[in-house]
Structure 1
């Protein structure tokens, strides 16, 4: 499967230690989430519903 990864617009520059990338997986499979600093380290697979839940949680969690 050839996944086209897209880096988060919230990821910072070279010194940012919290960079993520998203990739659309095969139809019906969901979304892949991986560490952009370790692209060969595998990815987390989320269903579309799971990804929506993750986004909602992130949006409603205050930043430290």
Structure 2
């Protein structure tokens, strides 16, 4: 949600909601069909990638079932 309203469609909103070098906040959704252990492994890997490649800090994770 931004000043223009809600967004979320990856094709129609890609220019408006894309991540840039100036982005400071990000929400990511990981869908897991392999059970909780697979999800935890991917969350740890993704967090590491965010730190390495994006210099991310203050990463917060939540699992919703």
Higher helix share: 2
TM-score, normalising length: structure 1: 0.32
Higher strand share: 1
RCO greater where, 1 or 2, for CA within 8 Å and sep 6 or more?
A: 1
